[in-house]
Amino acid sequence: VLDQVQSTKLRVQRVLGRAASFILGSTSSSVAPVAPAAAPGRVSNPEADVALIRNEPPGAFLWLDRTTYESELAARRKSGRITAEEAELLRTWAENGYVVIKGCIDDAQIDAALADVERMWNERWHVSIDVLTTGERTHVDQCDPAVRYGPHKLNDLYLHSKAVRNVFLHERIVGFAEAVFEQNVVGINSLTFAYGSQQPAHVDHVYMTPSPPRRLIASWIALEDVQPDSGPLELWTGSHVLPPFDFGGDNRYHYTIDQQDRNTAYLASQKPGFSHERFMARRGDVLLWHAMLMHGGSHIETPTQTRKSMACHYYSRECFESTIGLKQHGRAWFMQKGIEDPD
Ligand SMILES: O=C(O)CCC(=O)C(=O)O
Ligand SMILES: [Fe+2]
């Protein structure tokens, strides 16, 4: 039986080439060696005792995270697989850890999503909600309706609203994520905001850790023009190259409460090495960020100033053994039960 498995592996490898070595976890010498990651190494002066993951196998990295991304982009251009504009966007991703797609979502789609948010409050749907002022997790049909007028997160509204789902899995977002993963895309979580989150600087990979690692990306979708006093999304350009913090235990990439302060201190120590930006989006603009990019919600200067937006997370299809629990939406999939954001 083992021989049979081995020969199947080799056959699949011959057909799929490099991808198969990752999927099948094989290190067969018939597969070309994978270039090392471009990034890790840019950490500056970490505290002597901070534990970082520095021994990731090259196959763990996605193609745009490797030193060879320029030649890979050129090859894809040459074969006509990507356009010049797509190449530019993917290069920006490799360098900065995020891209902006201006005017991505059209007005009608945004209006439909906002209308469903309105209906959800009026009809008090059973939607999971985090009240950011108290830290309480409850449901819209169980909470004080006044919660609506302060910072909160609606969890996975895409499960209840087709209009929100259409924004969540917009074809341009899905198309970009497919290009990054070179795989199909699975929407795993949507957060709908009316106000800023004021979330401290963090890395999403730590909370929604994919398996295999690194196969996660996030989107931020402006449902209205962002005002400077609303607590815009903030990010540290290029910080996706930082070596991941090592939480130890069974899953070294995944957040543990006892290591949380050290992780926060590590990120804070690295902030000065990167340029700090705020996403001053216009309605319909979308920002996509790398799972390891440091970002957060900046301080809300005017508490009554809304910041209607969605933050969404997507896994590569390779994170799922089968399509059980997934539903198709165009070329993409979504999880029938969203992943809870522990943060
Ligand atoms: O929208 C924000 O302020 C931050 C959202 C965020 O960091 C996330 O959902 O991962
Ligand atoms: Fe985040």
Choose between 38 and 127: higher pLDDT.
127
pLDDT of 42 over the 80 cut: no
Q: In whole angstroms, what is the distance from residue 71 CA to residue 84 CA?
A: 14
At 305, list the tokens. 């100033």
Kindly list the protein residues whose Cβ atom lies closer than 6 A to any atom of ligand 1: 191, 193, 196-197, 199, 204, 218, 220, 233, 295, 297, 311
Ligand 1 pocket mutation pick from 220, 267, 293 by most atoms within 8 angstroms of CB = 220
Q: Spell out the alpha helix ranges (H) of the chain.
A: 2-16, 18-23, 69-78, 84-96, 107-123, 162-168, 171-181, 260-270
d(CA 26, CA 48): 35
pLDDT digits 0-9 by tens, 85-135: 999 999 999 999 999 999 999 999 999 999 999 999 999 999 999 999 999
Rounded to two decimals, the pTM is: 0.88
Q: Tokens for 183? A: 């795989």
C-alpha separations of 165 from 187, 235, 288, 327 in Å: 9, 25, 17, 12
- Atom index in ligand 1 nearest the CA of residue 197 equals 3
User: Which residue, judged by its Cα, is nearest atom 5 of ligand 1?
Assistant: 311
Nearest CA-CA partner of 60 in 95, 25, 91, 92: 25
Query: Is residue 297 predicted with pLDDT exceeding 90?
Result: yes
